[in-house]
């Protein structure tokens, strides 16, 4: 139950003023610029864009700064901003086969056409704190080498002709894809909607669920077929022009997980696939997403649904960290009247028990 | 519909001019990737800056970016991106459109002007020489540098031959 309570206005104003003060921190230090956040904390920016489901590096950096680096708060800010804008339309589906490649690795094929490009990765670093970053030391420019001749084929295209791996579904561009920002969620849902929910889902939640499948809760024997990070063109059909125009490029991470599958009554023995696609550079998220995508296909592939990661309603209903934080954090808001009512109830119950006990004692004494 | 706001009849007429062709497509995509600075420089260099009437925008909105299930299957909605668009009309009556990722309204307005100028015989060569050419060259250089930087991180596998002893 909610009732109007007054008296917090001055406190709230001063709390916000204090927040602004703490956000600025020590005034003898220069304040951080949006460009610095974009350039030097780029992976935080990417995470905010991915989970806010809004690609805009500058606005995401603004949100990171405004939230003092609290990324879920930043995601919330960016989600709120997007609700203020009209939608111009939907892009032509992006073509990840034709993206520029910054990183591309496969754990299944050593000698895939185009090769293995490590790109700007934390892998193989020693995870030792680097004292050179305590100061503003000059950093070497990146090494360069002439690019290879081979096209960077997608692993799924390389494997497809053998028939041992599940092919992509025939592209059905007629039916508009489900959009959970427009329609309320209903279960069971199709894979397109699930992928939309997973793409904006909390990285930590999906990581934990992906991990749970590896530990045996819905095991699906994954291999990283391919991870690729790079930039892809976004095109929009503009009716006024009568053709699709490029709007520019966005950075994305794609993960093709290849899963061993012994077959079921619904599908022959073959490798099946889980798919991850995320805004920005985030292979942890893309890998987790592809593990969970595969786990959620249990029903479709005729597997037993036994583990949390295979439970569509459980996974999709709890993946959104803005919804989750809203409901968890609302507990701190005033519930004075609810609590008073509960307090009265507990007092009454205790009094009733006390009374019953006294009466039974009285009866006992009387009997004696 | 989900479009922003109704378009005036005059604007609708401007929007319906037949404009097709690969050249137009290329110009639109280069204008989308031009920086605001590049556009401002080209504007300053114009021998005669045309009178421009705004028709629509500049306005910022969203485009839902779609991916494909598995990379090549049925489309799904990945997430939205901010897009700013503008439509203008030159005093000669030529309309120009621009769409670009991001929220820079001035960039969209200038891009729309250059889209119109690139369709006019008098200014087509100027736009190509001072704007589209340099932007294309910059993008090509940036792409080449990025590709070469990535290529330097390619793993060259070799096999260690172990001794028999």
* pLDDT (0 to 100) of residue A3: 58
Residues of A in contact with B159 (CB under 8 A): none
Residues of B in contact with A90 (CB under 8 A): 63-64, 66, 77
Compute the average pLDDT of residues A105-115.
87
Cα–Cα dist A206/A283, whole Å: 12
Considering the domain architecture, whether residues A159 and A294 belong to the same structural domain is answered as: yes
pLDDT band at B31 (very low <50, low <70, confident <90, very high): very high
Taking the CA of residue B77 and the nearest CA in chain A, the distance in Å comes to 6
Taking the CA of residue B124 and the nearest CA in chain A, the distance in Å comes to 18
pLDDT band at A365 (very low <50, low <70, confident <90, very high): confident
* pLDDT (0 to 100) of residue A180: 92
Per the domain annotation, does A367 fall within a domain?
no
Which residues are bridge partners to A87 per DSSP? B62
* pLDDT (0 to 100) of residue A4: 63
Per the domain annotation, does A353 fall within a domain?
no
Considering the domain architecture, whether residues A104 and A202 belong to the same structural domain is answered as: yes
Considering the domain architecture, whether residues A69 and A103 belong to the same structural domain is answered as: no
Domain around A50: 9-82
Considering the domain architecture, whether residues A209 and A246 belong to the same structural domain is answered as: yes
Compute the average pLDDT of residues A173-183.
85
Compute the average pLDDT of residues A88-100.
94
Grouping H, G, I as helix, E, B as strand and the rest as coil, residue B110 is helix
Greater pLDDT, B94 or A149: B94
Considering the domain architecture, whether residues A36 and A114 belong to the same structural domain is answered as: no
Compute the average pLDDT of residues A315-321.
96
Considering the domain architecture, whether residues A189 and A101 belong to the same structural domain is answered as: yes
* pLDDT (0 to 100) of residue B4: 44
For B16, the closest chain A residue by CA position comes to: A240
Per the domain annotation, does A58 fall within a domain?
yes
Contact B82 A85 (CB under 8 A): yes
Domain around B99: 14-144
Q: Percent of chain B at pLDDT above 70? A: 86
Range with the poorest average pLDDT among A35-49, A103-117, A167-181, B56-70: A167-181
Cβ-Cβ contacts under 8 Å for A181 (sequence gap 6 or more): A53, B77, B80
Per the domain annotation, does B97 fall within a domain?
yes
Pick the last residue of a domain from A303, A319, A335.
A319
Per the domain annotation, does B95 fall within a domain?
yes
Preferred mutation among B77, B99, B159 to probe A, highest tally of A CBs within 10 A: B77
Closest residue to B99, CB basis, from A55, A181, A238: A238
* pLDDT (0 to 100) of residue B7: 47
- Report how many domains make up chain B: 1
Cα–Cα dist A69/A32, whole Å: 12
Considering the domain architecture, whether residues A239 and A112 belong to the same structural domain is answered as: yes
Contact B32 A247 (CB under 8 A): yes
Compute the average pLDDT of residues A149-170.
77
Task: Look at residue B16 and tell me whether its pLDDT is greater than 60.
Answer: no
Closest residue to A236, CB basis, from B4, B99, B157: B99
**What are the angstrom distances between the C-alpha of B154 and each of A38, A114, A120, A358?**
27, 9, 11, 84
pLDDT band at B160 (very low <50, low <70, confident <90, very high): confident
Considering the domain architecture, whether residues A115 and A13 belong to the same structural domain is answered as: no
Task: Look at residue A345 and tell me whether its pLDDT is greater than 70.
Answer: yes
Q: Percent of chain B at pLDDT above 90? A: 68
Per the domain annotation, does B115 fall within a domain?
yes
- The 8-class DSSP code of residue A117 comes to B
ipTM: 0.90
* pLDDT (0 to 100) of residue B22: 78
Cβ-Cβ contacts under 8 Å for A283 (sequence gap 6 or more): A103, A227, A229, A253, A255
Considering the domain architecture, whether residues A71 and A101 belong to the same structural domain is answered as: no
Per the domain annotation, does A59 fall within a domain?
yes
Per the domain annotation, does A347 fall within a domain?
no
Per the domain annotation, does B2 fall within a domain?
no
- Report how many domains make up chain A: 2
Per the domain annotation, does B29 fall within a domain?
yes
Task: Look at residue A212 and tell me whether its pLDDT is greater than 60.
Answer: yes
Taking the CA of residue B150 and the nearest CA in chain A, the distance in Å comes to 5
Compute the average pLDDT of residues A312-328.
96
* pLDDT (0 to 100) of residue B163: 67
Compute the average pLDDT of residues B112-134.
92
Residues of B in contact with A193 (CB under 8 A): 76
Per the domain annotation, does A335 fall within a domain?
no
Considering the domain architecture, whether residues A103 and A60 belong to the same structural domain is answered as: no
* pLDDT (0 to 100) of residue A162: 67
Per the domain annotation, does A328 fall within a domain?
no
Which residues are bridge partners to A54 per DSSP? B80
Taking the CA of residue A83 and the nearest CA in chain B, the distance in Å comes to 10
Q: How many Cα atoms are found within 13 Å in the side-chain-facing hemisphere of A365?
A: 6
For B146, the closest chain A residue by CA position comes to: A102
Write out pLDDT tens, residues B65-113: 999 999 999 999 999 999 999 999 999 999 999 999 999 999 999 999 9
* pLDDT (0 to 100) of residue A167: 82
Per the domain annotation, does A57 fall within a domain?
yes
Per the domain annotation, does B70 fall within a domain?
yes
């Amino acid at each position: 139950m909610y009732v109007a309570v007054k008296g917090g206005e001055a406190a709230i104003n001063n709390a916000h003023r204090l927040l602004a003060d703490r956000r600025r921190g020590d005034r003898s230090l220069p304040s951080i610029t949006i460009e610095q956040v974009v350039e030097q904390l780029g992976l935080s920016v990417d995470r905010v864009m991915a989970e806010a489901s809004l690609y805009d590096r500058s606005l995401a950096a603004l949100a990171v700064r405004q939230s003092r680096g609290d990324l879920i708060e930043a995601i919330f800010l960016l989600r709120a901003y997007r609700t203020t804008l009209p939608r111009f339309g939907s892009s032509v589906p992006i073509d990840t086969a034709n993206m520029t490649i910054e990183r591309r690795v496969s754990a299944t094929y050593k000698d895939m056409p185009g090769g293995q490009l490590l790109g700007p990765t934390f892998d193989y670093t020693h995870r030792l704190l680097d004292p050179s970053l305590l100061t503003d030391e000059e950093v070497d420019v990146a090494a360069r080498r002439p690019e290879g001749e081979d096209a960077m084929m997608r692993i799924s295209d390389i494997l497809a002709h053998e028939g041992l791996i599940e092919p992509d579904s025939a592209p059905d561009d007629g039916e508009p894809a489900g959009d959970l920002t427009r329609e309320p969620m209903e279960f069971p849902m199709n894979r397109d909607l699930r992928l939309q929910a997973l793409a904006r889902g909390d990285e930590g939640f999906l990581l934990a669920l992906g991990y749970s499948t590896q530990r045996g809760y819905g095991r699906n024997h994954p291999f990283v077929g391919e991870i690729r990070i790079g930039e892809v063109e976004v095109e929009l059909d503009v009716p006024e022009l009568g053709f699709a125009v490029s709007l520019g490029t966005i950075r994305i991470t794609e993960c093709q997980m290849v899963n061993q599958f012994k077959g079921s009554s619904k599908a022959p023995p073959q490798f099946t696939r889980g798919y991850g696609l995320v805004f920005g550079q985030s292979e942890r998220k893309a890998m987790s997403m592809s593990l969970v995508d595969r786990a959620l296909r249990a029903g479709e592939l005729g597997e037993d649904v036994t583990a949390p990661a295979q439970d569509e309603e459980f996974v999709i209903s709890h993946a959104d960290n803005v919804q989750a934080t809203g409901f968890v954090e609302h507990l701190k808001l005033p519930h004075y009247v609810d609590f008073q009512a509960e307090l009265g109830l507990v007092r009454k119950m205790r009094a009733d028990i006390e009374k019953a006990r006294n009466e039974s004692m009285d009866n006992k004494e009387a009997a004696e | 519909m989900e479009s922003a706001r109704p378009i005036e009849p005059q604007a609708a007429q401007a929007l319906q001019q037949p404009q097709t062709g690969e050249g137009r497509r290329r110009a639109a995509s280069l204008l989308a990737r031009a920086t605001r600075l590049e556009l401002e420089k080209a504007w300053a260099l114009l021998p005669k800056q045309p009178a421009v009437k705004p028709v629509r925008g500049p306005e910022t909105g969203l485009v839902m970016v779609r991916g494909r299930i598995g990379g090549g299957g049925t489309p799904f909605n990945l997430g939205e991106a901010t897009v700013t668009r503008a439509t203008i009309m030159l005093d000669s009556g030529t309309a120009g459109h621009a769409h670009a990722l991001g929220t820079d309204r001035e960039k969209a307005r200038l891009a729309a002007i250059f889209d119109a100028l690139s369709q006019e015989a008098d200014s087509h060569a100027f736009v190509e020489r001072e704007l589209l050419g340099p932007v294309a060259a910059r993008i090509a250089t940036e792409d080449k540098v990025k590709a070469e930087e990535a290529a330097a991180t390619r793993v060259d596998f070799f096999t260690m031959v172990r001794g028999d002893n």
